[in-house]
Structure 1
């Protein structure tokens, strides 16, 4: 299983042709306490960089972008019920949605953990 990171502070866990998407520690730190999430519709197809979900905090609202072309296969209903999971466990139980990648190579350009850590440190 591979994890990639986007410049928009999302992570994608890749397992075959399924990607699981969430926000990074850096993103949840910047947002503050998450109070609401608007998750995508299962079965809907998105193009790369389309806003697929929204995360709202006490400070701001932000889009969660589709990292690659694909179809949403599952959403995290637990996150809908308890949006604070995006703060308490952003890389685990706080995932947003899963999607079937149209072309897994679309994710090759994203950062690995080492590159993302350096990128996020510069973003402060």
Structure 2
């Protein structure tokens, strides 16, 4: 599994209304859930992710995140093919709470059409913080 060494700056990422973040590099997007989502879920105890090579569709469920309080879903924010899945969060789900923007990343997707990165349904950091009221 490749190590995720993306941008540490939350302002460099895109966000969805479903509380996923995307760290974009060329036509590839590493995806995880935000600290807001991780906090709302509570202590994460189980993570299920799609297999490498799987095709994902924007807006469709691609994974599951269970906590002591509830079950959440990971949605694909873009169409594409999964090129990496973070097995470390499967083995150690608490990483989602401890470091949601780093070690707690979920998947990397090779995007079918990179123009989606400019889509209106992907927010910048300021729009996302306004959405969640932070």
TM range (shorter): over 0.9
Alpha-carbon distance in 2 for matches of 1:21, 1:46:
12
Alpha-carbon distance in 1 for matches of 2:56, 2:29:
13
Is 2:128 aligned against 1:116?
yes
Contact kept, 8 Å, 1:20 with 1:95, in 2: the verdict is: yes
Alpha-carbon distance in 2 for matches of 1:79, 1:99:
17
- Cα deviation, 1:32-87, whole Å, max 9, x if unaligned, reads 00000001111010111111111000011111101111000000011111000000
Q: Give the 4+ runs in structure 1 shifted more than 6 A.
A: none
So what's the TM-score if we normalise by structure 1?
0.94
1:70 to 77, 80, 83: 80
1:31 to 41, 45, 49: 41
Contact kept, 8 Å, 1:68 with 1:101, in 2: the verdict is: yes
Q: When you count strand as a share of all residues, which structure comes out higher?
A: 1
1:81 to 84, 91, 94: 91
Unmatched tracts of structure 1, length 5 or more: none
Three-state SS of the structure 2 residue aligned to 1:107 is: helix
